[in-house]
Copies of this chain bind each other. A is one copy, B any other.
Amino acid sequence: MSQPSTELETFPNPAPERDYTIRMNIPEFSCLCPKTGQPDFATLKLEYVPDQRCVELKSLKLYIWSFRDHGAFHEAVSNEILGKLVAATAPRFMRLSAKFNVRGGIYTTVILEHRKLAWNPQATVTLP
């Protein structure tokens, strides 16, 4: 087993004056079970409101692939990935959902959020 990549590139938000959302659906996450060494698979869904930096697509792909030989429990690895993405981009808001393949007849999904302190999202409006 190995350690995941520590690299994650970003680029400047082209519209920092506006709150807007970027969603990324990443169906090819794979890591190893720390107990048995057998492969695990998950689909990640990332959703964030960028502040000054956005996640660079190719770099994100390589970061995700770097978990392939990494032993990781469902709950811990989900927290680790969110922490890494928050550290790299300091977003106004970020949510990560990790939906793992069935094991033992049970399907597990872990969902986490980060929110910037002292950030007031624009009031939202419910439309017909």
Q: Which residues of A contact B (CB under 8 A)?
A: 13-15, 18-28, 30, 38-39, 41, 47, 49-50, 54, 57-58, 60-61, 65, 68, 73, 75-76, 78-79, 93, 95, 101-113, 115, 121-122, 124-128
Contacts and interface: CB of A to CB of B under 8 A. Distances in A.
A63 B14 CA distance: 22
A61 B103 CA distance: 10
Given A20-B111, A22-B109, 9 more contacts: A14-B79, A15-B76, A22-B111, A23-B110, A28-B105, A57-B103, A61-B106, A115-B122, A121-B126
Given A39-B28, A93-B127, A115-B122, A108 B22 contact: yes
Contacts of A122: 113, 115
* Tally of this chain's copies: 10
Contact of A75 (B41, B54, B76, B125): B54
Contacts of A106: 24-26, 57, 60-61
Given A39-B28, A105-B26, A21 B128 contact: yes
